[in-house]
Structure 1
């Protein structure tokens, strides 16, 4: 199963059954062979054979139950996933940073490194940065290459996950980056590539707020605005692998110019870049703002940290900018909720970590503009995965391939 691509209908069926057994153990652990057979509807001999193979591969471990299920009988042998047996590399490439982690199968990060991108790179320069950072985590983690299951890659922009190509990276101004081909050739490991916010949603479903939630939306705000959509326990990509581009939904006809070329996109009103633009353009009309004083003292440009600090100190100009941002995001989110009816909205990004300045107006807009029956309720929560959320999502791309059953 590990790093093994089988061919033929029998072997595909066997791999399907093995993944089914492995995923059942993951969800129900500790669990006996007999209970696995009941849940998977596989025969006991089949389960026993598959479990033996998984033990041989060090993917699962055995332990004796604390008590017997039958008075005076033998204590059953229970099975657990051996999460520390293998490792996965997760890569997150944003407009301004490349972050690489080495993780165990349960999401524990053992090595990580980041590099800021200060100048627009060429395709080759971008790939060189990624390769260098992957080399670093492999070397410093001291993990044998044979114990690394693969490399998951979360890339901002438009991605073709089948070919493993970054079709268009708007903030890096790069097209057709052959990520999968390059990294598989360089490291001789399986590589899976996905859009960053879809990776985040997949990560939330395994390690974050989306655990045990079958339908949810991740709304991520950074230099851009994007969403990852989870429906019936699966990520939704669409036929074109472009689902979730909420940042380019129109919230104002003939409005602000967006970098995509259209006018009135959400991203032009509610991204980090939009917040800074509003602060710069409106500052002269608000000489009373604390930001004026801080700019004179520091002799630096306006920053997000400065806007939020001013808001925390009661600066009405800063508060109004953040409230407008929350209103715009909330209106777009309300439209998505009306269309898809998720039970949860997960918010990710720096602006959601700075108190309620953006979150409260966003929630208010959702409450005001969603059409719902009396029994419907949507939870609005903030991601708790932190800066490594996208990279952990990339790790789950590999885990998903290992644990989840595919149609045969």
Structure 2
């Protein structure tokens, strides 16, 4: 991501431009005079920059406002007709992509299942294919695509756009940004999938307006994205938020990371399925699965829980309690205002969240900690894709400023 030097004329102009664009995003429809008032910029500066934004198809004139004396003002909004973004979720088994407008409204979507085993070249090829497919489905001219965002599982260097380690593929040093920019000639931004999901919730979901926030994604693994003082937190080497590898039992089961007793060895989608298969009370689940053990998954367990199956209810409640232990640790470490739970397991809603909240109320350190808000993701399955698109929006609306 480029840094804007505020000591230069060009830097100040870019800063003013992003300020005006963000003001329109947050307060539209809005007049030029109102923008000048909110930003403390001169009317001439606002007029000149708005003209540039209109010419760049980022802003459009929408309607005439109410006059306060004199001519009626022309109101401005974000241009959702002429600028679009591709958001991609590179998961453990699939690559999913959407095309959105600048308000994150989905215009088209596509998905592919990844082959196994997978090489770096094959993975990059599959990502290219799904981007090409979703752009074709959208019927939007490539010239209107202003950026591509990638939410990638594992450890990511978000500055260089490299997947340092993708554990589900056992691949390292994947040059995603370099490869895709060469392929499409469009700016590409890459982030860890859970951090992308967190950014999406911050802009368009249940994290709006929250300066200190944690989003937890519970799927095959468990990860957390952390917002501190309104900034996405990466840590020194980009591994902040790996809550799935917080050790909760030093004598516990071996984890895929090589350690023992990690949180995701007792909670998460894979363990939920394993417990269902191991139980002697799984007759109802097997019946629903037509006696095919491979058909037992989180979605089926949730369905059976809704129908009152005791084992399914117990499995989801246990998962909620185990996740609750990790949540308490995060509350005591970070002290967030709100925690958002997403991912496949979170689809079970209060079957998981109610016991999770109970554990927090029972074991958190202070009365305020016990009242930490815990909500389900608003963006659901689309969270990482919307978040990936938001990576582009973040660069557009809030470029990194060097003070």
Equivalent in the alignment of 1:13: 12
Aligned residue runs from structure 1 range 54-69, under 5 A: 54-63=53-62, 65-69=64-68
Equivalent in the alignment of 2:313: 319
* Closer/same/farther in 2, CA of residues 170 and 298 from structure 1, 3 Å limit: closer
Equivalent in the alignment of 1:144: 141
C-alpha separation between the residues in 1 aligned to 2:107 and 2:142?
A: 15
C-alpha separation between the residues in 2 aligned to 1:374 and 1:242?
A: 28
Q: Which moved more, 1:300-309 or 1:93-102?
A: 300-309
Is the CA contact (8 Å cut-off) linking 1:216 and 1:342 kept in structure 2? yes
Give the Å deviation of 1:53: 1.2
Task: Tell me the alpha carbon deviations over residues 94-120 of structure 1, each in whole angstroms, 9 at most, x when there is no partner.
Answer: 001100111111111111110122523
Counterpart pick for 1:330 among 311, 316, 324: 324
Give the Å deviation of 1:64: 5.0
Aligned residue runs from structure 1 range 346-385, under 5 A: 346-373=340-367, 377-385=371-379
Q: Which moved more, 1:112-121 or 1:264-273?
A: 112-121
Equivalent in the alignment of 2:336: 342
Using the size of structure 1 for normalisation, the TM-score is 0.92
Equivalent in the alignment of 2:37: 38
C-alpha separation between the residues in 2 aligned to 1:62 and 1:236?
A: 36
C-alpha separation between the residues in 2 aligned to 1:146 and 1:382?
A: 37
Give the Å deviation of 1:163: 0.8
Q: Which moved more, 1:218-227 or 1:383-392?
A: 383-392
Q: Pairwise CA RMSD of aligned residues?
A: 2.3
Question: How many positions carry a matched residue from both structures?
Answer: 401
Is the CA contact (8 Å cut-off) linking 2:216 and 2:223 kept in structure 1? yes
Equivalent in the alignment of 2:131: 134
Structure 2 stretches lacking a partner, 5+ long: none
* Closer/same/farther in 2, CA of residues 173 and 66 from structure 1, 3 Å limit: same
Counterpart pick for 2:93 among 71, 96, 100: 96
Counterpart pick for 2:388 among 380, 394, 404: 394
Give the Å deviation of 1:297: 3.8
Using the size of structure 2 for normalisation, the TM-score is 0.93
C-alpha separation between the residues in 1 aligned to 2:256 and 2:334?
A: 27
Give the Å deviation of 1:135: 1.2
Give the Å deviation of 1:372: 3.1
Equivalent in the alignment of 2:226: 229
Give the Å deviation of 1:176: 0.8
Counterpart pick for 1:244 among 225, 237, 241: 241
Give the Å deviation of 1:256: 1.4
Equivalent in the alignment of 1:200: 197
C-alpha separation between the residues in 1 aligned to 2:293 and 2:64?
A: 66
Aligned residue runs from structure 1 range 164-313, under 5 A: 164-281=161-278, 283=279, 286-287=280-281, 289-294=283-288, 297-298=291-292, 300=294, 302-313=296-307
Give the Å deviation of 1:68: 1.7
Equivalent in the alignment of 2:114: 117
Is the CA contact (8 Å cut-off) linking 1:257 and 1:264 kept in structure 2? yes
Q: Which moved more, 1:173-182 or 1:374-383?
A: 374-383
* Closer/same/farther in 2, CA of residues 293 and 38 from structure 1, 3 Å limit: closer
Is the CA contact (8 Å cut-off) linking 1:120 and 1:173 kept in structure 2? no
Equivalent in the alignment of 1:158: 155
C-alpha separation between the residues in 2 aligned to 1:367 and 1:352?
A: 19
Equivalent in the alignment of 2:79: 82
Give the Å deviation of 1:289: 4.1
Task: Tell me the alpha carbon deviations over residues 4-57 of structure 1, each in whole angstroms, 9 at most, x when there is no partner.
Answer: 999993222211110011101111112222332232222222222111211222
